[in-house]
Amino acid sequence: MASSGFNFKQFHVAHDRCAMKVGTDGVLLGAWAGVAGASRVLDVGCGSGLITLMVAQRTAAHVVGVEIDAPAAEQAIENVAASPWAHRIEIVHADVSDLCPDEKFDHIVSNPPFFAEDLLPPDVARARARHTAGLTFERLFREVSRLLVAGGHFHAIVPTSAYDAFAFCAWEQRLYPYRRTDVVTRPGKPVRRVLVSFAGGKEKPVLRDELVLCDARGLRTADFQKLTADFYL
């Protein structure tokens, strides 16, 4: 970890001007999302550009990150410019609703706002990044539905407590879960996060598994190491 960010194997992410810092949730989603073979990928609420960069490393796709917060968008632009994939990454400082519907995506990823029922923290930028006051689940899925190509996929990570509401909003847009990984910090602990992929069409049985991040000693499990091997130093 550098003083203002993180060094990964193939890129650096500075995040000192971002409301939300680089964290495990973003790394998990960036490594887990099933984006193999993607041609155009959108990262909604890209923040520092972490997931955007991870997707670019994993694919040959054109990747667009959209971020409403100006300082975060500026830092994402700088992070991308310093990466090996600047020629096929675009960071847009805008609300996702401002994106042109003519430019659709075959994959969309998002580490969306959450903690909707908690008290908002005093810092406005952090509040916007962490809470659904600005980008509700309902609005997120409307935009995802608008911007996905037919047969496209949406990948996200959400707190376990928010999953049912999240999945219901997807269902309202006729997007259905088909892959789910429950994230547990240590053996015997409750599920902390849910990694989930949605697609249109008919509902299918959900391929479901569990990822334990650390063993009883606090060391990364073999599964966690395998998932993130291309990124963590």
Note whether residue 233 is domain-resident.
no
Over residues 128-148, mean pLDDT: 79
Answer whether residue 85 is part of any domain.
yes
Q: Is residue 93 part of a domain?
A: yes
**Is residue 89 situated within a structural domain?**
yes
Q: How confident is the model at residue 222 (pLDDT cuts 50, 70, 90)?
A: very high
Residue 63: which CATH number?
3.40.50.150
Q: Which of 3-17, 100-114, 126-140, 146-160 has the lowest mean pLDDT?
A: 126-140
pLDDT tens, residue by residue, 18-30:
988 899 999 999 9
Check: CB of residue 233 under 8 Å from CB of residue 206.
no
Tell me the whole-structure pTM to 2 decimals. Answer: 0.91
Residue 12 counted as domain residue: yes
- The yes-or-no verdict on residue 126 having pLDDT over 60 is no
Per-residue pLDDT at 118 exceeds 60: no
pLDDT band at 76 (very low <50, low <70, confident <90, very high): very high
- pLDDT at position 119 is 37
What percent of the chain clears pLDDT 70, i.e. is strictly above it? Answer: 89
Domain span holding position 105: 5-228
Share of the chain above pLDDT 90, in %: 83
pLDDT confidence of 96, banded at 50, 70, 90? very high
* 220 to 195, 201, 216, 228: CA distances (angstroms): 18, 37, 10, 10
Task: Give the chain's domain count.
Answer: 1
Give me the pLDDT at residue 233, please. Answer: 86
